Structures are given as structure tokens and as C-alpha cells.
Amino acid sequence: MLTVIGIGPGNESMMTQEAIAAIREAEIVVGYKTYTHLVKHLTMDKEVIKTGMCKEIERCQTAIDLALSGRNVALISSGDAGIYGMAGLVLELVCQQQCDLEVKLVAGITASIAAASLLGAPLMHDFCHISLSDLLTPWPMIEKRIIAAAQADFVICFYNPRSRGREGHLAKAFELMRPWKAAQTPVGVVKAAARKKQDKWITTFGEMDFSPVDMTSLVIVGNQTTYCRDGLMITPRGYEL
């Protein structure tokens, strides 16, 4: 059997009981090396197969092959495996290869939810996720999504906001949103949520500093009703108070 597991953003306190149990029950754990390190206290003497960045297909195929050989395999992703994780790729490969394999998916806490809990309640109304990585999605398509989300006044959660190879993508995203986002719109940033170097801060759309943001960061841009009070970022649901 192959179990695809979302391990949450970082530490065990943000992992589901189902995820913890699935890792403990597995014979072999497969994952990106950073993520296998995060759960090493659960893998103990298990066989652990680690791969680096840009090895997603190989990682999933290895997990599938091991499971087809009769082993109980856990393939881990950070956050939720079905949100920018390995769940979709595993299912694509299994369907394409017509494998007779039981695949179980275990939900996890995705980065936007973990970040929101640290910032206040910014996701109380309609929101969307947009990844600024153009490794798999053409940048013109990402631009269309940013503009559409801003026009519709979604709270927007930006994944993969900035890296060494994409230092300007977040700034471009803000420029695209500018016609629909007022300068005072709250913006929350959380770095390394639930990990040792966790950091967070709240600023505004007009005062946003892009330089501290990196690939471990999650950026949440509020909508027209989002406000800040007592250090908390709040998006009203619409209740009459």
C-alpha cells in the first residue's frame, strides 16, 4: 500500500493523528530530504529514501514501485499533499500506468492555514492560493490569475513568493494588484511557520518590503474589508455586530 501524507508545516504539534500513525505504520518513508528531516523522530529505524529538489517524478515513481513490490510505503509532503504536494502526481502516475495499487491520501495543514493562525483571522471570507513559481506554470498564466483574484477582491495567499531565481516575482504580483488593492490593505507574512526559525509580521500593501521574503514564506494579502487591530489581521465574515 502507498500512503501519501501531508505532514503539516513543520513540527508534530501541527500534524494530524492520522498522519503520525501512518508514518509509524509504514515500512519505508520516501520524501524530499528537508521533509524527511522534519519527521526523523517518527521514522527512527525505518528505511528512509531521500531525494533533492526537482526530483518529484522520480520520488513518486520510487514510492509506487516499492508499494507494488508489497511494501507499506509512506510518501510525505509538507503541508497538505494535495495542495502543491505529491498527491496529484502519484495519482496521475498510477492512472497512467494502470497500476493495481491501493493509494491512501492523508490530509495535512497547509501553509496558508498555519500562517493565518499566527496572524489572526485573515481567511474568514473567500480566499485563494496562487503560487508564484513559474517552473511548472507559465508566468503569463500566473499574471492572469493574480489580476483575476485582485479584481474579485479575494484574500490572496501567495505560495513560493520569492527565491534567488525569482527575486522579482512578488514585486510584479503587487504591481499587478495595485489597481484593486488600496495602500492601507493589510499584508501578513509568515516565515518558516511552525519551524525553529519562525517569524511573522504584518504590514500594508503600500509599505510592503519584499527583501525579507523567501521560499519559506507565505504572504497573505487582505481584501477591501480586512483590517488590523491589536496586532491581529482580521477579515470580517459579514456578521452584524
Residues near 240 by beta carbon (within 8 Å), at least 6 away in sequence: none
C-alpha cell recorded at residue 12: 508534530
- CATH fold for the domain made of 2-106: Cobalt-precorrin-4 Transmethylase; domain 1 (3.40.1010)
DSSP state of 12: G
Q: Could you tell me the pLDDT band of residue 54, with boundaries at 50, 70 and 90?
A: confident
**Domains 2-106 and 111-234 in one fold:** no
**What average pLDDT score do residues 67-73 get?**
97
Amino acid 241: pLDDT: 86
Amino acid 163: pLDDT: 82
Amino acid 3: pLDDT: 98
Q: How is the chain split into domains, by residue range? A: 2-106, 111-234
List pLDDT tens digits, range 158-188: 999 988 878 899 999 999 999 999 999 999 9
List pLDDT tens digits, range 16-32: 999 999 999 999 999 99
CATH no., domain 111-234 = 3.30.950.10
* Rounded CA Rg of the chain: 19
